[in-house]
């Protein structure tokens, strides 16, 4: 078997592939057209987020048997085309779930306790205890939309903080467990103090969180998005922060993550977010740890081996 690795990967991957006696070519420098032209010679493709794998990319890859995506999301793969062409698709959803969950809690605790603002102030000689009085996570009701790998890992950690966790998952039944209660979106909107999103980007979830969705909440809430940027309409978030409907936001993802190439409207929204002390921003690094970098490789290799 011959595999094309078309993205930067942790070097631990190479030893794992060699142990299975699988041949590979490592070309992280390849661009979209390079990948397209090379694919017919390979049985497998390992990739992260370099390009969208659509019919143009996969149509002539006559020998391609599988795609292994080094991450959790599959929104950069046309799954219908892959299925039509009998190409198996693997992803490493379990590889970075713990890192995502820890990142979510870190962002939320930083927001609740004004850690980023307080740090800046102390560095500038300002010692303001009362102005940085925090909020406790203990006793809060947290709603999770999406209860797969990342959602369930996040619930496990939230339960340790004494939170009541409500979870909604459109694609699962009977998924309530010791860490979360199976709920509807309506129940989450009635009860949640915090909303955390753990869902893929699809036609159904695109801009799920918009003005109407936010208005459906019974009380002001905090928002976490560590899923995909386009699940949330950021203009609606800034308006809700302004009105008080949203009390604060932790955003690891944005609608447009090429922040040097924003439209005028996107720039206006981004300027509001980055100026607000009620917003914590990180550059899509939920799940981006040294440990998960290796674990993702282990998960993918094990999935491919079991499939073969």
Active-site residue list: 228, 257, 284
Taking alpha carbons only, the member of 154, 248, 134 closest to residue 193 is 248
Say whether 235 sits in a helix, a strand or coil: helix
CB 253 within 8 A of CB 226: yes
CA angle 220, 185, 205 (to 5 degrees): 100
3-state secondary structure 134-175: CCCCCCCEEEEECCCHHHHHHHHHHHCCCCEEEEECCCCCCC
Integer Cα distance of 146 and 227 in angstroms = 10
Q: Do 81 and 56 contact (CB within 8 A), yes or no?
A: no
CA distance 221 to 189: 9
d(CA 225, CA 167): 15
Residue-wise burial string across 261-286, b where 16 or more C-beta atoms lie within 10 A, e elsewhere: ebeeebeebbebbeeeeebbbbeeeb
Contact 40, 62 (CB under 8 A): yes
- The contacts found for 265-270 with CB under 8 angstroms, 24 or more apart, are 265/235, 266/234, 269/234, 269/235, 269/237, 269/238, 270/234
Q: Which residues pair with 142 in a beta bridge?
A: 165, 194
């Amino acid at each position: 078997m011959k595999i094309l690795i078309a993205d930067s990967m942790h070097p631990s991957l190479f030893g794992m592939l060699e142990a299975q006696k699988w041949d590979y070519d490592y070309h992280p420098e390849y661009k979209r057209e390079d990948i397209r032209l090379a694919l017919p010679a390979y049985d497998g493709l390992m990739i992260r987020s370099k390009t969208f794998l659509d019919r143009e990319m996969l149509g002539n890859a006559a020998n391609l048997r599988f795609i292994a995506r080094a991450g959790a999301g599959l929104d950069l793969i046309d799954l219908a085309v892959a299925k039509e062409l009998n190409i198996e698709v693997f992803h490493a959803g379990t590889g970075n779930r713990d890192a995502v969950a820890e990142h979510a809690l870190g962002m939320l605790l930083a927001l609740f306790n004004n850690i980023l603002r307080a740090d800046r102030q102390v560095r500038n000689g300002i010692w303001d205890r009362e102005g940085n009085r925090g909020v406790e996570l203990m006793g809060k009701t947290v709603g999770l939309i999406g209860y797969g790998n990342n959602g369930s890992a996040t619930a496990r950690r939230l339960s340790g903080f004494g939170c009541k966790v409500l979870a909604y998952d459109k694609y699962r039944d009977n998924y309530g467990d010791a860490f979360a209660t199976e709920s509807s979106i309506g129940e989450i909107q009635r009860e949640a103090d915090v909303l955390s999103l753990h869902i893929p980007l699809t036609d159904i979830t695109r801009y799920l969180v918009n003005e109407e969705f936010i208005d459906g909440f019974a009380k002001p809430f905090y928002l976490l998005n560590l899923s995909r940027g386009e699940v949330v309409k950021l203009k609606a978030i800034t308006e809700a922060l302004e009105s008080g409907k949203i009390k604060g936001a932790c955003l690891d993802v944005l609608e447009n993550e090429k922040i040097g190439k924003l439209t005028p409207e996107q720039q206006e929204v981004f300027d509001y977010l980055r100026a607000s002390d009620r917003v914590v921003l990180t550059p899509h690094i939920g799940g981006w740890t040294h440990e998960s970098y290796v674990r993702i490789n282990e998960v993918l290799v094990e999935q491919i081996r079991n499939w073969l």
